[in-house]
């Protein structure tokens, strides 16, 4: 990686706005995670980066399928889903199906000064007392979205493509510090959403350990 890339990675956590709402209804929990960043480009260019297969491959990953209303898509080695709503170049909504779990993702693009803002909302409804949420909290998916938004920043700001070997990238000092920082930020968002401080901090530490391949602290 170049020095400019290292600088971008170091500054990236502070360029992103993160939000979390958690609502419980009996044994059901509904969460909405939001991640947002402004980029020095037009809404139209940002739309192309978020919807065209050749652009998505450069910063997010290989995506195949029928990119139209009602069509289905597949992210290589990750989620699949259906396009539920689409209004170019403003927003689209898709299902996010991974294993037996299904949630919903909406991407919104808006003008922001001389640039354009990318906002992603990830909605999930499930068991309020699930072991997974208790163990990892919002960071399990939040850190993944932070890594995706980092890829978009590199693509639009430095012109670089996502690392050919994400595992090797994850071993670099810059990437590891990035993961530690954004995992802590999702822990902070969890506290603001009502999670007790101790539980949110513990979940963030477990999330960090998971992404870095380190032993989890008891």
Where exactly are the structural domains of the chain? 3-212
* Rounded Cα–Cα distance for residues 64 and 6 (Å): 31
Rounded Cα–Cα distance for residues 68 and 51 (Å) = 10
Q: What is the pLDDT of residues 97-106, one digit of tens each?
A: 999 999 999 9
Alpha helices in 60-136 (DSSP H): 131-136
| CA 70/CA 187 separation, integer angstroms | 35
The model's pTM: 0.95
CB 114 within 8 A of CB 38: no
pLDDT of residue 1: 56
CATH 3.20.20.120 fits 3-212, yes or no: no
Q: List the pLDDT tens digit at each of the 218 positions of the chain.
A: 566 889 999 999 999 999 999 999 999 999 999 999 999 999 999 999 999 999 999 999 999 999 999 999 999 999 999 999 999 999 999 999 999 999 999 999 999 999 999 999 999 999 988 999 999 999 999 999 999 999 999 999 999 999 888 889 999 999 999 999 999 999 999 999 999 999 999 999 999 999 999 987 65
Q: Three-class SS of residue 112?
A: strand
- Residue 67 phi/psi, 5-degree rounding, is -85, 70
């Amino acid at each position: 990686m170049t020095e400019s890339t290292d600088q971008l990675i170091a500054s990236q956590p502070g360029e992103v706005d993160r939000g979390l709402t958690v609502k419980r209804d009996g044994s059901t929990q509904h969460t909405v995670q939001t991640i947002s960043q402004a980029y020095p480009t037009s809404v139209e260019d940002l739309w192309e980066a978020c919807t065209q297969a050749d652009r998505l491959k450069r910063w997010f990953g290989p995506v195949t399928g029928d990119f139209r209303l009602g069509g289905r898509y597949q992210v290589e080695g990750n989620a699949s889903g259906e396009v539920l709503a689409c209004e170019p170049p403003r927003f689209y909504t898709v299902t996010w199906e991974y294993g037996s779990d299904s949630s919903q993702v909406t991407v919104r693009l808006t003008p922001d000064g001389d640039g354009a803002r990318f906002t992603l909302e990830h909605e999930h409804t499930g068991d309020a007392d699930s072991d997974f949420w208790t163990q990892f909290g919002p960071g399990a998916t939040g850190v993944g979205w932070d890594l995706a938004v980092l890829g978009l920043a590199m693509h639009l700001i430095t012109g670089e493509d996502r690392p050919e070997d994400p595992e090797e990238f994850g071993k670099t000092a810059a990437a590891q510090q990035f993961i530690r920082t954004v995992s802590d930020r999702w822990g902070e968002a969890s506290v603001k959403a009502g999670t007790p401080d101790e539980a949110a901090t513990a979940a963030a530490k477990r999330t960090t350990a998971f992404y870095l391949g380190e032993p989890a602290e008891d």
